[in-house]
Amino acid sequence: MRLFGIETEYGITREDLADVDPVVESMELVRAHLTASFERRWDYAGEDPHEDARGFRVSGLAQDREEDDFAKLDAHRPFSFHEMKSDLVLPNGARFYNDHTHPEYSTPECRTLKDIVAHDRAGEYIVRRAAERRNRTLGGTHVQLYKNNTDFHGHSYGCHDNYLVSRAVPFPRMVSGLLPFLVSRQVIAGSGKVGIEAQESGFTPGRFQLSQRADFMETELSVDTMHNRPILNTRDEPHADPKKFRRLHLIIGDANMCEYATALKIGTTRLVLELIERDAAPLLELEQPVAAVKQLSRDIDLKAMVRRKNGQGISVLDIQDQYYQAAVRILAGTDQESDWILKEWGETLRLLRQDRGCLVGKLDWVTKLWLLETFMQEERVGWDDPWLTSLDLEYHNLDPKRGLYLGLEAEGNAWRMTTEADVERALSAGPSDTRGGLRGLCIRRFPDQIKTMQWQRIQFSGGVRPLTLEMGDLFDPSAVARCMDVFNAAESPMDALNEWKRRKDGQS
Amino acid sequence: MRYSSMPERREGPVNPMPKSPGPSEEGGGPRKPESGSPEKDNLLKRMRKVDPKQAERYRQRTGE
């Protein structure tokens, strides 16, 4: 079973200020998580967003100029780059920091749907608790956080899902297998949006669509993530042994409030990747995938037909159905989790055709649409009323006293995939079968002896030579368990590294 | 399709979501909503409290 993880950039605002400084607010929010003094520990040496999975390196990104402009502005601030980033690695193996003026929570690497959903929820709890602490300092509920993807003025921010895949799979096969699936995935994983907008321009109210991100997709493939956004991001930054692995970095997804939608988003994508690896994905080449993303998002009756390259039309549900049928044929019986995904995927597609009211509390766009239509009927307002846009925003508010989704959940009308105990466990430790759990263990056991961290490496301080735990190829669950045993038992990182090396040498 | 009333009580899937190995053994699986006839008034009350101009004021910088 493969690894996956979710990165979520949260929207943040201060309701007591007319002019909000997002750099300061995001930085202060992350720092509010800490009770002790702030300490940076992230090693940026492993990050290079200019490498392209198509086999070349770009000299610059579309966002570089804007980033440079912001860097000039930010240079006048009394903070260093690292202070502004405020990088934290948490005891559960997650990363929490300020990315592009948004508090970002990246889950630890997970291997099961149950873990990824619990860690995604744990992220919500962590940012919410940071906001509560910050608000206590400010003396009011001024800071508000939103798990969404747009400000309704053309500024979007992401929720990226990531998957470890074998580099042996040719990238063109990955592209042809994934594009139609990603174009149509919004029917399950879309969070719904009032209105239509475009990159940093305009907002037209008066229409409900499936997805928050569809309006911001501008090309099929690109290494960019902030401008010229692609359906399939080609950034080649594996955070693992680059000879063996890729990290599929999907930026098209919406942030989900519904746990069920999160599970199906990650689960169905995992199955499609299994199909692609077996060269068994359906061949459904679309004539204009970028136009199709928008067209399908804007048709809440799910009747729109998009053209395939063979000249035939196909609907969003028929695209999904072709992937579902292929997955049933090839993957049924593979393992318990795959069977669960297949059952829920098939049932969801059936309900979308026949009785989607049953999906309230399961899929975000269906839930939001139902809430808004209930409100419109009661208040006798139309889709062009700005109140509806504000209600859309408030659906995603993480304040349990205000958020519309959280209100629905508190009343017992949302489907839960986790218990509160699951989420509490995810707050304190990472998955025991991935390097995310090992990362968290090192944070808990040796907090003062860690010099830097990144996804695939931990560097410890204290020795004459670098003391480094390499995790770029540490994916076998039994190997992870053995390494965790070693770090649990050792007196010091040096003892642990020596013992781990001894055991690995003994095996080879 | 349009929704004009709160959803009725729904049945959960027959097969629960598989449990993950390791310490997270209990729990898991989608759990159907607990309330039989959801209280619509509380949600409407919450929605009516939302400032209609809230989204107009909400501004973010572009992220990834």
The string of pLDDT tens digits covering residues A289-346 is 999 999 999 999 999 999 999 999 999 999 999 999 999 999 999 999 999 999 999 9
For the annotated catalytic residues of A, the residue numbers are 99
Predicted local confidence at residue A339, as pLDDT: 98
CA distance A462 to chain B (A): 33
On the question of pLDDT at B3 being above 60, the answer is no
Residue A217 amino acid letter: M
Dist CA A119 CA A139 (whole Å): 30
Predicted local confidence at residue B63, as pLDDT: 94
pLDDT digits 0-9 by tens, A153-162: 999 999 999 9
Predicted local confidence at residue A69, as pLDDT: 75
Would residue A467 count as lying in a domain?
yes
pLDDT digits 0-9 by tens, B7-63: 333 433 333 344 433 323 344 456 766 654 456 789 999 999 999 999 999 999 999
A445 and A403, same structural domain? Answer: no
Q: Other C-beta atoms within 10 Å of A495: how many?
A: 13
Predicted local confidence at residue A23, as pLDDT: 87
Query: Residue A316 in contact with residue A323, Cβ under 8 Å?
Result: no
| Whether B52 and A387 lie within 8 Å, measured CB to CB | yes
A352 and A467, same structural domain? Answer: no
Dist CA A495 CA A127 (whole Å): 35
pTM of the model: 0.93
Mean pLDDT of chain A: 94
Domain range spanning residue A131?
Answer: 4-421
Task: Find which of A225, A235, A411 to mutate to test the B interface (most B CBs within 10 Å of its CB).
Answer: A411
Predicted local confidence at residue A508, as pLDDT: 64
Domain CATH number, residue A76: 3.30.590
Q: How far is CA A127 from CA A114, A401, A449, A478, in A?
A: 20, 15, 26, 32
Predicted local confidence at residue A38, as pLDDT: 56
A171 and A24, same structural domain? Answer: yes
Give which of A24, A105, A14 is closest to B58, Cα–Cα: A14
Would residue A426 count as lying in a domain?
no
The first and second tokens of residue A318, run together, are 């028929």
A438 and A411, same structural domain? Answer: no
What region, left, alpha or beta, does residue A89 occupy, with left being phi > 0 and alpha being psi -120 to 50 degrees?
A: beta
The first and second tokens of residue A274, run together, are 């299994």
Q: B24 in contact with A at a CB cutoff of 8 Å?
A: yes
Query: Residue A8 in contact with residue A256, Cβ under 8 Å?
Result: no
Predicted local confidence at residue A68, as pLDDT: 76
Predicted local confidence at residue B18, as pLDDT: 44
∠ CA A482-A486-A489, nearest 5°, is: 135
| Total number of domains in chain A | 2
ipTM above 0.90, yes or no: yes
For A374, which residue in chain B has the nearest alpha carbon? B4
Residues of chain A with pLDDT below 70 are 1, 35-40, 508
The first and second tokens of residue A422, run together, are 């699951």
Predicted local confidence at residue B1, as pLDDT: 34
A441 and A298, same structural domain? Answer: no
